[in-house]
Chains A and B, each alone.
Chain A
Amino acid sequence: MTFNQATAIVTDCIHSVTGSQDTIDLSASLKAAGIQTSTALDALNDSICTDVNIGVPSVGEHLEENALDLTTDTVVNSVIGQVHDKSTKMHPALLQAFVNALSAEPDKKAIARLSMNTSDLRRQLPLPAKKTKRS
């Protein structure tokens, strides 16, 4: 996962929880970004860890549900750093289940993200190697 992807994941999840599309100041706290209650914090953790459209699974990686140390005073940049550092490559079986789920229920946004991360996915999926033309 790149920092750019981690930033997109955290900001998308904050927007999803708060229902606001306001620009998020990455150097400010989650409280300033609109995550003010423990319920909202739990919702943010839930989205980051398990949302296949905008969370860590959307880039083919996995984040353990107890991994993030979040309070409403945690700085957004810190959350991005934690997501980046604590995410691990998804287990191939989980990734296959994720791809199958997307195939069964096409989602434009998810497919767009998936296509952007084809190279990442190819490294995870046991895809057959491309046949090369014999000279």
Chain B
Amino acid sequence: MNMRIPTALTIALRILLLLVGVRAAAATSTIIGATMDYNEEHQLMVDVLLSDYVPASSSAALFDISNYILLDVDSGRFLPITGVKLKQCGNNLQLLLDPTLYYPPAAKAKAHLHLFIKNIRLLKDEKAGTLDKDVSVRLEVNSEVEMVCTPPPPTTATRGTAGTVADQGSQHLLTAGKGKDDSDVYLSGQANGASGQKFTYTADVKLSFPFKAVHFSRVNTFAPLFTYNASTDPKANPDTLGIGLDWSLFPVRDLSPSPFTRLLLTNSPKIEGTHDLDSFNFVHGLRFTLLSRVARKGMASFYFLPYVGQEVGTLISSPIAAAEGGLIARPNAGGDLILVFDVNQTYLKSVSIESNGGRRWLLRNEVAVDTDKTGKVTAVNSTTKPKDDVKNTLSLNITDYWSITFSHEYGRVPPLYKLVDNKMTVGLTYKAVVNRKSVF
């Protein structure tokens, strides 16, 4: 057998613990992470994060150091634990180690520790059990502590092996999104029919690949964006596409004592037009959005994100030749209201009601489309009359990815300002966020 002796030692110790009657916890309690490091008082310790709180009834067992075994897998020796501290957050232990602990220099690159905690019962456990976890080492090589700590500075891989929390979402290419604005990949299809009429089909596609970078002491998010809306319904907005970039950051992080907590600044240069590029504009949008405090009562949460902004640009191509080269200037204001009920039942995760809308004040004439009496779509010069749009959505979120959506739309949106006149839709929606870790 090629089994390494240290591995065999670990397995043997696990079996020994089982033989002496210590059974593994039936519940899902785990040690989320364990790291050898220095605490705030510069004491050598193993820092342990548990998956749940430690109840007061378990405090006697918790502070009994004989319930802790810290095994150096390579040498087979137990490292001496001299004390246990429970930190204020209730699920964080610090196991103080003997300050005279010494690692020979040859062991620097090989430190492989494993922690066992016996007789531990966390809040949701029915009975006490044993938890165990590999211990990562995060000690800095430093002249002040050279005699005590000798393992090397951890590599990313070392830390990742022992300490990184396995997050369900990070294991997949796609994780669940919330709505169109929150999702990096959004695909929505709808079929509408009525007695004596042909079925019409609508598709709504959004692809976005955001990445972040720190500038101005803030995290800036850059999101290349592609949107495409298509419909066979002559009464719907014509097929449109948008290609652009959203660049956002939070310039103000403290708005107390106002009802808002953050100010979000978004820059959005983009090309917007019809899918055949018969008509398209270049527009640069600048928007200030406020993020409200969360108002909560029971299972209900309420949010409000009001905004003001300005869009400026030029008409590059237009069905009305005289309009080409014209300037675009659209101050705008609006908001997003979100009410969420976290039902958390097996058949229904949550119900959300969202209403977003706004008004654009057109300072210059632009091109709009209209439908004449024969049903033919024609391009006309729009007036500078303010253009409103509103969308109300009721979502029944069955799972994190799938939802049934009822929505109502009214108003005119650029680039063609065709009136969407109280359009009601019902659809099945798939929403996801690209897991960049999987892609890159």
Interface residues of A, Cβ cutoff 8 Å to B: 1-8, 11, 16-20, 22, 26-27, 31-32, 34, 36-40, 42-43, 45-47, 49-52, 65-66, 69, 71-75, 77-78, 80-82, 84-86, 89, 116-117, 119-120, 123
Contacts and interface: CB of A to CB of B under 8 A. Distances in A.
A46 B33 contact: no
B436 interface: yes
B176 A71 contact: yes
B239 interface: no
Nearest to B263: A43
Contact of B294 (A36, A51, A81): A36
B403 interface: no
17 contacts: A2-B92, A3-B47, A3-B48, A4-B92, A8-B89, A19-B260, A19-B294, A32-B342, A45-B219, A50-B214, A50-B217, A65-B213, A66-B211, A78-B165, A81-B49, A89-B140, A123-B140
A81 B164 contact: yes
B276 interface: no
Contacts of B260: 19
B250 A43 contact: yes
Contacts of B426: none
Contacts of A65: 212-214, 219
A110 B251 CA distance: 20
Given A2-B94, A51-B253, A77-B91, A123 B142 contact: yes
A82 B211 contact: no
Chain A contact residues: helix, strand, loop or mixed: helix
B321 to A, nearest CB: 41
A40 B262 CA distance: 9
A17 B433 contact: no
Contacts of A51: 253
Nearest 7 CB-CB pairs, A to B?
A19-B293, A81-B165, A38-B182, A119-B42, A85-B163, A34-B294, A46-B219
B332 interface: no
B4 interface: no
B163 to A, nearest CB: 4
A117 B39 CA distance: 9
Interface residues of B, number: 75
Contacts of B217: 50, 52
A2 B39 contact: yes
Contacts of A78: 32, 165, 167
A46 B144 contact: no
A7 B40 contact: no
B267 interface: no
A74 B169 contact: yes
Contacts of A82: 164-165, 167
B293 A77 contact: no
A85 B261 contact: no
Interface string B45-65: 001110111000000000000
Contact of A69 (B169, B182, B219, B250): B169
